[in-house]
Structure 1
Amino acid sequence: MCVFAVFVFWGLLFFTPHQLSGCPLSCECFAVTSTVKCVSKSLLTVPKNIPGYARTLIFTGNHLHQIGPDSFKKLTNVTNIILSNNRITELASHTFSALTNLRFLDLSANQLALIHPEALSIPDSPLQELNLSQALHNFTALTDLTTALRWGGLWGLLRLDLSGNHLALLPPGMFSYVPSLRQLLLSNNSLLAVYSGTFSGMAHLEILDLTHNAFKTLRADGLQELDRLGNIKILLGNNPYNCTCEIHDFVTWLNKSKAQVDVEAVRCSSPEDLNNSLLRGLTVQAVGCIVPVLSEVTDITLPTSYAFLGLVLGLVGMVFLFVVYLNRNGMKKWITDTRDACRDILEGYHYRYEIDSDPRLGHITAGGSRSQRHAGTTLSQQQLRDTRIIQSPTQTLAKQVTISPNANS
């Protein structure tokens, strides 16, 4: 009996909420766990008299449309805040700047339409986990969040949850301002493609969740972006993959990638004959990329440009040959004249060579008087005039007849 009484005492002491002095009205305060709970109390603002020992604040199911820097003053001990399902539409500048030890922040299931660029700015960047699932009201909120990540100085953020926000695309470089990120959850959105630069600057990422989106395939640039992430865990299952020829690159990547992909969940949704088939190992014939042809048939097809060029060159050749045919007589006469002219020139060179090589002209000395040189020149000219060409039927002989000076007398 005494033992039972002791258990009852300790249960009342540690496991029941204590309405301690300083505990907000309509809230529950737990001194042992350093927790303050205000669940579904229709609060319009964050209570002011939160006890200083509180480390975990749970405010859910209320109507906190707007929170700002005055909402969490002098709460330096708080490490965890859960603000889910409060219909919050706006985060003012430096909303959490007083929470210098904040590690975990849950803003899920809200309707954020306006996020100030410095709404998430906290000195020394203590925040490690940020839950924004089902929290972004529209695409403008995504743009605001991108700016808030840039100016928030969240260098120590390790986990970011953006699931269930109907995101159709992600701005390039959006996550480069959270370089320490280990887990990025993007499930239950409407993402259609992964673009180059989407995950740039994420050198420490370990888990990427892309399940339950609208991917029908992943293009070459998206696959290269995933390859840059290295050997990490990538969840790609439960997407409506269309297993046609366009998915061939994705199938090849699945078969060769070093990433840890949930291949058992990556299955075809269409066409009907491939429904629920595993993408890994799917052949190119199965997705309709190759049309069977006879092996003996040679592919002689040419690009249209080359075929047209060949046609033009053939037409030009035919025109050239036709012109030559019409001028065949003139061409024949031109060829004959050219041949005769070349022969006359060669005969003239041969005749000059015979004259220059005549040994009798070598007796004329280079010295002597001017009259002797003149006489020698006259003699040479006389000898040239006395040379006669005698032709016979078989050969042409050149005979030189020299008339002495006495014969003229």
Structure 2
Amino acid sequence: MLLWIVLSAVVCACHAGAVCPTGCECSEAALTVKCVSKDLQDIPSGIPGYTRNLFITGNYISRIGPESFKGLVNVTTLSLSNNRISQIESHTFAGLRSLRSLDLSGNQLVVIHPEAFSVPSRTLRDLNLSRSLYNHTSVKDLAVSLRWSVLSSLQGLDLSGNGLIYLPDHIFSHLGSLRRLQLANNSLVAIHNGTFSALDRLEELDLSLNAFRTFRQEALRELDGLPWVRLHLGLNPYTCTCGIEPFAAWLNESQARVADAERLSCAFPAALRNTSILGVTEVPLGCHRAGEGPDLALQTSYVFLGIVLGFVGLMFLFVLYLNRKGIKKRIYDMRDACREVWEGYHYRYEIDSDPRLSHVSSSADV
């Protein structure tokens, strides 16, 4: 007991001597430090060692590196949102041995180094990168960093609001413990094989507010590979033409897994706008069914071609009929001309083949 009292006194003395950095607000009782909208250009030095919750937001910090958070071994929650950060170096958070939640939302990340998110003991559980990627090339750096940072304990990843138009193959394949994946409010148009490979523990996947017009067979197989996941697929511009039928059938079978299944509706064409996707199979889309012969459009093309050719044939026969006398005369003239030519060749042949007449031919030639 005496030893505990002495240690407590030492800790309190250390804490009492801690000075709050300029531009920050420190609360030892709440173990929290806030440096909010103070026009800071760097991570302030002298942050108290007792800090568990650190909020440095709304400033003008362009880069962070390994020297930024030295000595902050007790920090569990770190928010760096809306700081205009453009570069994160490798091992930036290596000194944060207890870090569980990292918020980098609302930044302008251009360069993300490999192992940028590495944390000792792999304690990181939640990573928020919403509205943080500056351009489409940043997602390639992110994919490399998610692989090399060894985030095997990460459970929540937020990539919403980044304008993503594609996801690199196997971008999440090294996040085996991931349970929540937020991809809402992007511009994704398709899901390919391997997009969600290795996410065996995933429980929630948000794909709402993207640019999906439908989910094709490849995407449906990928979603079927996540049988325990709660899906969010709303507010996409679904186009209710023939291509949406497989998705509509899948949705009817899997609506228990889709949180907003009843709210999914057609955006195009205008005649079907706001029609529920669940009921779109009952709407006449003019689609041909499997086993019913060639595609309807192809059938229509063949019929039209046959009509055109038939009309041309009839016109040809009609022209022949109108000119039958002239055609008959031309045929007779051609026959007589051919006969005269043939008789001339025959006569010449008889002269050439009879020696008695050869001198007649020679005299005629002279």
* TM-score above 0.5: yes
1:148 aligned residue: 145
Q: Is the 8 A contact 1:234 1:259 kept in 2?
A: no
| 1:66 aligned partner | 63
Cα distance in 2 for partners of 1:192, 1:160 equals: 20
Correspondence for 1:188 = 185
Per the TM alignment, residue 19 of structure 1 is displaced from its structure 2 partner at its CA by 11
Residue equivalent to 1:50: 47
Tell me which residue corresponds to 2:240: 243
1:70-102 CA distances to partner (integer Å, 9 max, x unpaired)? 000010000000000000000011000110100
SS in 2 for 1:280: helix
Aligned match of 1:107: 104
> How far is 1:189 from its partner?
0.1
Q: Residue in 2 aligned with 1:37?
A: 34
Distance 1:266 1:258, change over 3 A: closer
User: Is 2:208–2:235's contact at 8 Å kept on the other side of the alignment?
Assistant: yes
The match for 1:167 among 161, 164, 168 is 164
Write out aligned runs for 1:2-401 (5 A): 21-257=18-254, 260-261=257-258, 262-283=260-281, 285-290=283-288
Equivalents in 1 of 2:141, 2:254: separation in Å? 34
Query: Structure 1 counterpart of 2:86, which letter?
Result: T
CA distance in 1 between counterparts of 2:91 and 2:42 reads: 17
Note the C-alpha offset of 1:264: 2.0
Residue number in structure 1 paired with 2:12: none
Residues 44 and 65 of structure 1 are in contact (CA less than 8 Å); yes or no, is this contact kept in structure 2?
yes
Q: Over aligned residue pairs, what C-alpha RMSD do you find?
A: 1.8
- The secondary structure found in structure 1 opposite 2:48 is coil
Q: Name the aligned partner's letter for residue 287 of structure 2.
A: C
Could you give the per-residue CA deviations for residues 283-332 of structure 1, whole angstroms, max 9, x where no partner exists?
254333149xxxxxxxxx9xx9xxxxxxxxxxxxxxxxxxxxxxxxxxxx
Partner of 1:329: none
Normalised to the residue count of structure 2, the TM-score between the two structures is 0.73
Q: Distance in 1 between matches of 2:178 and 2:23?
A: 38
SS in 2 for 1:281: helix
Deviation at 1:49, TM superposition (A): 0.3
**Partner in structure 2 of residue 374 of structure 1:** none
CA contact (8 A) 1:230 1:258 kept: no
- Secondary structure of 1:38 counterpart: strand
Structure 1 window deviating more from structure 2 (256-265 vs 156-165): it is 256-265
Q: What SS does structure 1 have at the residue aligned with 2:278?
A: coil
State whether residues 105 and 131 of structure 1, in contact with CA within 8 Å, keep that contact through their aligned partners in structure 2: yes
Q: How many residues align?
A: 276
SS at match of 2:281: coil
Indicate if the aligned counterparts of 1:125 and 1:154 stay in contact, CA closer than 8 A.
yes
Distance 1:250 1:182, change over 3 A: same
Contact 1:129-1:157 within 8 A present in 2 as well:
yes
1:222-270 deviations in whole A, cap 9, x for unaligned?
0000000013210000000000001001001101127511112211001
Higher RCO by CA contacts (8 Å cutoff, separation 6 or greater) = 2
Secondary structure of the corresponding residue to residue 23 of structure 2: coil
Tell me how far 1:277 sits from its aligned partner. 1.1
Q: 1:57 is paired with a residue of what secondary structure?
A: strand
Question: Following the alignment from structure 2 to structure 1, what is the Cα–Cα distance between the partners of residues 140 and 245?
Answer: 34
Partners of 2:282 and 2:191 in 1: how far apart? 23
DSSP 3-state at the match of 2:120:
coil
Match of 2:279, SS?
A: coil
Q: Which runs of 5+ in 2 are unaligned?
A: 1-14, 290-298, 303-366
Query: Does the CA-based 8 Å contact 1:196-1:222 persist in structure 2?
Result: yes
The letter for the 1-side match of 2:90 is: S
Deviation at 1:281, TM superposition (A): 2.6
Q: Percent identity?
A: 51
* Cα 1:235–1:196 shift into 2, 3 Å: same
Q: Distance in 1 between matches of 2:98 and 2:18?
A: 24
Query: What TM-score comes out, normalization by structure 1 length?
Result: 0.65
CA distance in 2, matches of 1:126, 1:176: 19
- Which is higher, the Rg of structure 1 or of structure 2? 1
Deviation per residue, 1:98-152 (Å, 9 max, x gap): 1010000000000000000011111221000000000001122100110001010
**Equivalent-residue separation in structure 2 for 1:20 and 1:133 (angstroms):** 38
What letter is aligned with 1:145? L
Deviations 1:327-353 (A, max 9, x none): xxxxxxxxxxxxxxxxxxxxxxxxxxx
Aligned partners of 2:212 and 2:238 also within 8 Å:
yes
Q: CA deviation at 1:51?
A: 0.4
